[in-house]
Amino acid sequence: MSGEFSHITVLLDEAVDALAIRPDGTYVDATFGRGGHSRRILAALGEHGRLVAFDRDPRAIEAGRALADPRLTLVHEPFSAFAGELDALGVTQVDGVLMDLGVSSPQLDDASRGMSFRFDAPLDMRMDPTRGETAAEWLARASVAEISNVLREYGDERFAYAIAKAIDAARQGGNVATTGQLAEIVAATVRTREPGQHPATRTFQALRICVNRELEELSLILPQAVSRLRPGGRLAVIAFHSLEDRIVKRFMRDNARAPALPKGLPVRESERPRPALGLIGDAIKPSAEEVRANPRSRSAVLRIAERTTAPFAGAPA
């Protein structure tokens, strides 16, 4: 099953190069997917190197088992379990953490996952189909205001309230249970849309982000990741959505600034507090050649930061 849908890894060279891999280091691929980044990391590691790869999708974990590399440990958990799972593995510090955020091509292209309006299938949208609430279940219980807020905040949908009202009207005759139903409701409500974009694009994106708590999970893993980095260790994050990238950008920026001191406090330069992170270069985007080869890469943004020797105030308790 895992080999049935292909996935082209985005910013493969750039992301792995950003980690500045040491052959005997310990690294975390927080989003294994179909293992593109992990394979490249393993190729750069020596015999005593180690890679821990997380993914909440059981099909990704299944695909990872095919690697059969003793240096690789697979973890079927979401971001929020990062620190606890490393503790369970006896991993106290790592040399690098890589995150490739968002949905993967196999998840979009597999009709049974219910993430795309291109297929008529059960409205699921969960990255982990074994846990949590489906999109259909959420839509069945959410208020019009809740639906409208999700579509507006996570999808930047200007017709959010009208779509929420249409969904509410439709569910009076039974739950909105399939992707086809939802796509039809949105298409009948949204009369204008950007050229080349399906009317339901923003709605499907917003519901997927909501059901999988994607932004909350990202906010939870970032401090956990930095708290586990050794001095000189790298954090590399690829974001595809502006809301994700904003969270990453602000987190790195804020932790690359030294803590503020009270005005007038006499402090020697050597005693001034230092930031926990140093920013490495500017944001990196796919080349025109990569975008031509893989149009889904066009919105990707890679940001890189390096751990300093300073204490990290945001470390989890």
54 annotated among ligand-binding-site residues: no
CA-to-CA distance for 211 and 150, rounded, in angstroms?
Answer: 10
Q: Counting every residue, how long is the chain?
A: 317
**CA distance linking residue 102 with residue 241, whole number of Å:** 8
CA distance 285 to 20: 18
β-pair type (50-54, 26-29): parallel
CA quadruple 286, 64, 3, 123: dihedral sign:
negative
* CA angle at 105 for the pair 132 and 192, rounded to the nearest 5°: 85
Structure token digits, residue 112: 């049974």
Nearest-angstrom CA–CA distance, 304 and 311:
19
Secondary structure in 3-state letters for 264-289 = CCCCCHHHCCCCCEEECCCCECCCHH
Establish whether 57 is an annotated binding residue: no
Burial of residue 147, with CB atoms counted within 10 A of its CB: 0-12 exposed, 13-18 middle, 19 or more buried:
buried
> What is the rounded distance in angstroms from the CA atom of residue 261 to the CA atom of residue 274?
11
* Cβ(87)–Cβ(228) below 8 Å: no
What whole-number distance in Å separates Cα of residue 311 and Cα of residue 317? 14
Residue type, 188: A
Annotated binding residue at 36?
yes
Q: Is 204 annotated as a binding residue?
A: no
100 marked as part of a ligand binding site: yes
Q: Are strands 26-29 and 94-100 parallel, antiparallel or unpaired?
A: parallel
Q: Do the Cβ atoms of 33 and 21 come closer than 8 Å?
A: no
The reply, when asked if residue 107 is annotated as ligand binding, is yes
Annotated binding site for S-adenosyl-L-methionine: 35-37, 55, 79, 100, 107
Annotated binding site: 35-37, 55, 79, 100, 107
